[in-house]
Structure 1
Amino acid sequence: MSAETPQAYDDLLDAYRRVSNLGSAVGVLSWDQQVTMPEGGGPARSQQLSTLSGLKHELLTDDEVADALDAAGEAELSDEQRAVVREIRREHERAAAVPQELIEQISATSSEALEVWESAKADADFSQFAPVLDELVELRREYAAHIDPDRDPYAVLFEEYEPYLGLETAETVLERLRDELVPLIEAVGDSDVTLPEPFADGTYSEQRQEDLSREILTDLGYDWDRGRLDVSSHPFTSGNQFDCRVTTRFLSEDPLSALTATIHEFGHAFYNLGLPQEEYGTPLGASRDLSVHESQSRLWENHVGRSRPFWESIADDVRSAFEGVDADADTLYRAANRVYDDNLIRVDADELTYHMHIIVRFEIERDLINGDLAVEDVPAVWNDKYEQYLGVRPENDAEGVLQDIHWSHGNFGYFPTYTLGSVMAAQLYAAAEDDLGDLDGAIRDGEFEDLQTWLRENVHRHGARYRTDELVERATGEPYTAEYFLEYATEKYGDLYDL
């Protein structure tokens, strides 16, 4: 390797770390806006975020980065270094295609839209949110056109969140799950089995729910020295390998909602906290993408948190936390996996109908971005699709089109990653079981270390070194496939409902 090679690579990393640090600062301000910022802080926060987003874009598209990429690209590099150059080049080229003014406008509009969305949701009034949503759709169309005016704009936006599996893969997976899960959901609905509802007709204090959430996070291995738990209107995770925070929400009549949301966010945080610390600020210290991120959250939420062994491990804690709940582990397990197609809320959906919620959002946002659906028509289309796919119709906008936060951020193309991640989670968990043996026994005993070590070794430590499909194949020995998820869902719910 020539003497100038490491210098060219180091120059690139020095420039990129500044970009990464600005991104981390944006993340902290965004977390604060949703968790602790005073209600009146919005106007200043939108300007702050706009400025930082503009500076990040300016640094990423600077000639210094372009020159460093060119120099590093001509040097003799290791496989890891080539992966770093690949990831930075991809990010640089996409950013360089978009004017900085547009980046700042999108950031400011998204920040303002968050408060508009919160108010509109509280009032169950989509008309309040419609103008800013219309603006965000137009801004994102413009963004996609700058990157590649000759391609499907929704496909371009989807690649912000999943750059390597491709929209065609997402559409294929979603269509297959729709085709195969709908008959399974219908069979469940026709079953004579009724799963228990041990929390029905009760109310449960937020403090008791929070205490239990904290206890379970501790049992799962959440590092409180590098994290915290707060409350937000929509559960989310924010941070990096040194500081990764989770939020949840509490419903007085449904403590299962907070438990599953908290475990879901733990999966995100555990991934971030497992990224290599020495690679912070580089692609090797960054998560792969949102499909992989969602695979981690859905693995912990569903394959661990909704498993019978897990409920056997926490049944005593649940009974202690909630006075009046005298249910055994089997009852709690079955309650946590009850399928109810009359649920309107995605984050409270069961494991099967959840994907119908995703399909509704995917179809609507794809049509919005492609110009096939007007913003003012979204509530009616949303309600019609819920009736078509789930047999229910929202009574108001708060439980319908306004329930998710993502569009207020301008995150069009995000939703498919939830289902792609669920599919990936089943494949990863099956591979971990093959390698580790009796995971059920370990989970029943509250021992998660072997599974965590497997995930650290096969997913987390690689950062963004490998493309999504390559990472999955290296971890599991097979290409990305929906087979494991469909087999898992059919077997699990067939057993629960005597199908």
Structure 2
Amino acid sequence: MATEAAAENAAYEELLDNVKRISNVKNAAGILGWDQEVVMPEGGTPARSQQRSALSAIAHELLTDDEMGELLDELESQDLDDEQTAVVREVRREYERATRVPGELVEEISRTTSEALPQWKEAKAEDDFSIFAPTLEKLVEQKREYAEHIDPDKDPYEVLFADYEPYLGIETAEEMLTRLRDELVPLIDSIRESDVELAAPFDGTYDTDTQEQLSRDILDTLGYDWNRGRLDTAPHPFSSGTQFDARVTTRFDESDPLGAMMSTIHEFGHATYTQGLPDEEYGTPLGQSRDLTAHESQSRIWENHVGRSRAFWERFLPALKERFPDVEDASVEDIYKAVNRVYEDNLIRVEADELTYHMHIVVRFEIEKALIRGEIEVEDVPELWNDKYEEYLGIRPDTDSEGCLQDIHWSHGSFGYFPTYSLGSVLAAQLYAKAEEDIPDLEDQIRNGEFDEFHDWLTSNVHQHGCLYTTDELIEVATGEEFTADYFLNYANEKYSELYDLE
């Protein structure tokens, strides 16, 4: 691929060497981050914050070195092939943003986020926003400063959003979220007015050790590569790593085994994308995932279009009954309805159904946008959060833990991240529609537990491209169309109209 094609291009080879060095430093920092969230002892934070801060500084120094700018300038004037052009484009973009941000600020942000994690955990455990508020205020100030350095003439939230989705643009996110809000709310209202109730077949206690075995059964069924991954637990489920080491975490609730199963499938989607990146391009943009809209599309395509399908439960229900014999009487239809129930009172985003999920995103999007723009203060967040939940979801959190403290993202300084969850869900439906067109018996394959062809389709059309294409280009290459919410909204209306007997 690109490395071989550039064998005689000394400048390009030197650029690749530098980029790989930066990637390895960042990947090492990623492992430290995983360790901090999963297994690090609580007392390890002071040292860990310094370690991660040092690695962030090293990566920043390597990226902003004058030599990088000189190599990029030299390569801009050369006749490059498509892969080389993509690598230069991606490195140029990172270089230009990074050179505008002082290294001291990069270190400060890294140190603050390391220290923020245990404070967020404590605040959530104690149900006390005031424990986390001072650090959140500090992070907001630091991220505003970061955005101002990158582009003082732009909306700071738009600058931060581009860290997670650099090519679709904030206008696309706002338009998509507005359309989802406008078209899903009437559907949700119709469901709540219907006489149909989709009750869950679980009523009891389901021990977490058995739930973990069930999660491992799911990963086996879907085709997770255990040689390049592992399963652990975390307060907030996530997946991280590289194509050689893509790790999954989940969490368990003794009263809700379906929650852990769906969380595991979701994180598997992220991990299988990472595992599907080309090995030979490790450390270069061609061996890295295409930002968070594409990444989230992979978790949502597996969670929603596979994991919430009748076909999947026709395959997997026997394994569930084997692990938990007290659900022996449950039918495929029972489980199918349970995993697709639209909740009237769910406060937790990661446990939300496919429809109200997007209202959770709208709440977070509107609040963090106002925070970064200075339209509200940190102290306003809990009350505003509760007001918006009441407005968009018809429910009001009783505690901060089930309200504004439920997500981990702000403790990472990840402002601008949330819209990509909805963008990814929309893209998942568009990709799945194309996959069904290309694999006519896809549903039968899922029913039979045969996932190889679907894996291959996703790898060929999404994973193996790395960052060769921009997000909008990748969508057109994979689906033959521009990005659209039509597929998701058609899918949602058809599926839930059938489930709830809507006219």
Q: Same fold (TM over 0.5)?
A: yes
| Residue of structure 1 equivalent to 2:264 | 262
* CA distance in structure 2 between the partners assigned to 1:396 and 1:321 by the alignment: 34
* CA distance in structure 2 between the partners assigned to 1:15 and 1:27 by the alignment: 19
Kindly state the Cα deviation for residue 338 of structure 1 after the two structures are TM-superposed. 0.4
Does 69-78 or 246-255 show the bigger shift? 69-78
1:351 aligned onto 2:390: no
* CA distance in structure 2 between the partners assigned to 1:309 and 1:47 by the alignment: 49
| Residue of structure 2 equivalent to 1:368 | 371
| Residue of structure 2 equivalent to 1:455 | 458
| Residue of structure 2 equivalent to 1:162 | 165
* CA distance in structure 1 between the partners assigned to 2:489 and 2:356 by the alignment: 13
Q: Secondary structure at the match of 1:230?
A: strand
Q: Deviations over 1:308-339 (max 9, x none)?
A: 10011111111111131120111111111000
| Residue of structure 2 equivalent to 1:406 | 409
Q: 1:146 aligns with which of 129, 149, 155?
A: 149
CA contact (8 A) 1:267 1:296 kept: yes
Q: Deviations over 1:395-437 (max 9, x none)?
A: 1000000000000000000000000000000000000000110
Q: 2:255 aligns with which of 215, 239, 253?
A: 253
| Residue of structure 2 equivalent to 1:99 | 102
Q: Secondary structure at the match of 1:443?
A: helix
User: Which amino acid counterpart does residue 473 of structure 1 have in structure 2?
Assistant: E
Kindly state the Cα deviation for residue 341 of structure 1 after the two structures are TM-superposed. 2.7
- Specify every segment of 5 or more residues in structure 1 that has no aligned partner in the other structure, as ranges: none
Q: 1:397 aligns with which of 395, 400, 406?
A: 400
Does 434-443 or 175-184 show the bigger shift? 434-443
The equivalences for 1:67-466 within 5 A come to 67-199=70-202, 201-325=203-327, 326-466=329-469
User: Which amino acid counterpart does residue 155 of structure 1 have in structure 2?
Assistant: E
Quick one: percent identity of the two aligned structures?
65
User: Which amino acid counterpart does residue 286 of structure 1 have in structure 2?
Assistant: Q
Q: Deviations over 1:236-279 (max 9, x none)?
A: 00100000101000000001110000000000000000000000
Q: Deviations over 1:195-228 (max 9, x none)?
A: 12101x3110001100000011011010101000
User: Which amino acid counterpart does residue 210 of structure 2 have in structure 1?
Assistant: R
- How many residues align? The count is 497
CA contact (8 A) 1:302 1:351 kept: yes
Kindly state the Cα deviation for residue 74 of structure 1 after the two structures are TM-superposed. 1.6
CA contact (8 A) 1:5 1:77 kept: no
1:21 aligned onto 2:21: no
* CA distance in structure 1 between the partners assigned to 2:86 and 2:69 by the alignment: 16
CA contact (8 A) 1:137 1:369 kept: yes
CA contact (8 A) 2:7 2:13 kept: no
CA contact (8 A) 2:361 2:421 kept: yes
RMSD of the alignment, in Å?
1.0
User: Which amino acid counterpart does residue 81 of structure 1 have in structure 2?
Assistant: Q
CA contact (8 A) 1:271 1:287 kept: yes
| Residue of structure 1 equivalent to 2:477 | 474
Q: Deviations over 1:92-117 (max 9, x none)?
A: 10000000000000000000000100
User: Which amino acid counterpart does residue 315 of structure 1 have in structure 2?
Assistant: L
Q: Deviations over 1:166-188 (max 9, x none)?
A: 00000000000000000000000
Q: Deviations over 1:427-481 (max 9, x none)?
A: 0000000011021111000011111110000000100010001000111010000
CA contact (8 A) 1:5 1:72 kept: no
CA contact (8 A) 1:16 1:65 kept: no
Kindly state the Cα deviation for residue 4 of structure 1 after the two structures are TM-superposed. 9.7
* CA distance in structure 2 between the partners assigned to 1:282 and 1:358 by the alignment: 32
User: Which amino acid counterpart does residue 394 of structure 1 have in structure 2?
Assistant: P
* CA distance in structure 1 between the partners assigned to 2:195 and 2:71 by the alignment: 66
Kindly state the Cα deviation for residue 5 of structure 1 after the two structures are TM-superposed. 6.2
Q: Secondary structure at the match of 2:249?
A: strand
User: Which amino acid counterpart does residue 125 of structure 2 have in structure 1?
Assistant: A
Q: Secondary structure at the match of 1:400?
A: coil
CA contact (8 A) 1:137 1:368 kept: yes
CA contact (8 A) 2:293 2:424 kept: yes
**Hey, which bits of structure 1, 4+ residues long, moved more than 2 A?**
2-5
| Residue of structure 1 equivalent to 2:14 | 11
User: Which amino acid counterpart does residue 245 of structure 2 have in structure 1?
Assistant: D
User: Which amino acid counterpart does residue 213 of structure 2 have in structure 1?
Assistant: D
CA contact (8 A) 1:12 1:72 kept: no
CA contact (8 A) 1:113 1:409 kept: yes
Kindly state the Cα deviation for residue 66 of structure 1 after the two structures are TM-superposed. 1.1
User: Which amino acid counterpart does residue 159 of structure 1 have in structure 2?
Assistant: A
Q: Deviations over 1:91-150 (max 9, x none)?
A: 010000000000000000000000100000000100000000000000000000000000
* CA distance in structure 2 between the partners assigned to 1:71 and 1:115 by the alignment: 45
Q: Secondary structure at the match of 1:196?
A: coil
* CA distance in structure 1 between the partners assigned to 2:157 and 2:8 by the alignment: 38
Kindly state the Cα deviation for residue 75 of structure 1 after the two structures are TM-superposed. 1.5
Q: 2:34 aligns with which of 31, 49, 70?
A: 31
* CA distance in structure 2 between the partners assigned to 1:382 and 1:28 by the alignment: 32
Q: Deviations over 1:267-303 (max 9, x none)?
A: 0000000000000000000000000000000000000
* CA distance in structure 2 between the partners assigned to 1:38 and 1:281 by the alignment: 30
Q: Deviations over 1:473-497 (max 9, x none)?
A: 1110100000000000000000100
Q: Deviations over 1:39-60 (max 9, x none)?
A: 1000000000000000000000
User: Which amino acid counterpart does residue 423 of structure 1 have in structure 2?
Assistant: V
* CA distance in structure 2 between the partners assigned to 1:119 and 1:4 by the alignment: 53
User: Which amino acid counterpart does residue 118 of structure 2 have in structure 1?
Assistant: E
User: Which amino acid counterpart does residue 181 of structure 2 have in structure 1?
Assistant: R
Q: Secondary structure at the match of 1:238?
A: strand
* CA distance in structure 2 between the partners assigned to 1:255 and 1:76 by the alignment: 56
TM-score of the superposed pair, with normalisation by structure 2: 0.98
